[in-house]
Amino acid sequence: MNNKMYKSLLGGFIGTTAMSLVMFIAPMMGMPKMSPPNMLAGMMRVPVIVGWVMHFVVGIIFAFGYTYLFAPKVKIGNSFLKGTIFGFVVFIIAQIMMGILGTILPMPEMEGSMVLIMIGSISGHIVYGIALSKTIS
């Protein structure tokens, strides 16, 4: 396996793990409870472990997108800024995909303030992007 592929796999795993830690800690800081794996599992009516696997697979797929599509085209030397921008791009893509999936599959009810949910989601995706960028750089 070449170095870029290995770094993409590792970066996707580390980035998704960092994002997952943020989502566990967020309720302790007054943010609503957020769990993409639970949401995926609920939408697809599968066990939560399948939601977790899907969450990590999507994180790794986005890492390959970062390595092979985003990073070569975006000429920003600062890996924190590059990761922040990529995390925000991933957030936008995730919102679009959840909107599409929501028309096909039943969406679970969101609990708490929608503004706080969006802030928490953006924060989690930015943490993902930074962890990914720092791992791959």
The pLDDT tens digits for 20-55 are 999 999 889 888 888 889 988 988 899 999 999 999
pLDDT in tens, 69-91: 999 999 999 999 999 999 999 99
Q: What is the pLDDT of residue 31?
A: 87
The overall average pLDDT reported for the chain is 93
Identify the residue whose tokens are 């600062």. 78
Looking up tokens 């997108």 gives 65
Greatest C-alpha distance within the chain: 45
pLDDT at 105: 80
Total domain count for the chain?
1
Task: Report in angstroms the alpha-carbon separations of 106 from 41, 42, 45, 95.
Answer: 11, 8, 9, 15
Range of the domain at 27: 3-136
pLDDT higher for 60 or 117?
A: 60
How far is 103 from 51, CA to CA, in rounded Å?
19
pLDDT over threshold 90, residue 128: yes
Q: What's the confidence (pLDDT) of residue 24?
A: 92
A 10 A CB-CB count for 79 gives 17
User: 86 with 132: CB under 8 angstroms?
Assistant: yes
pLDDT at 110 over 80: no
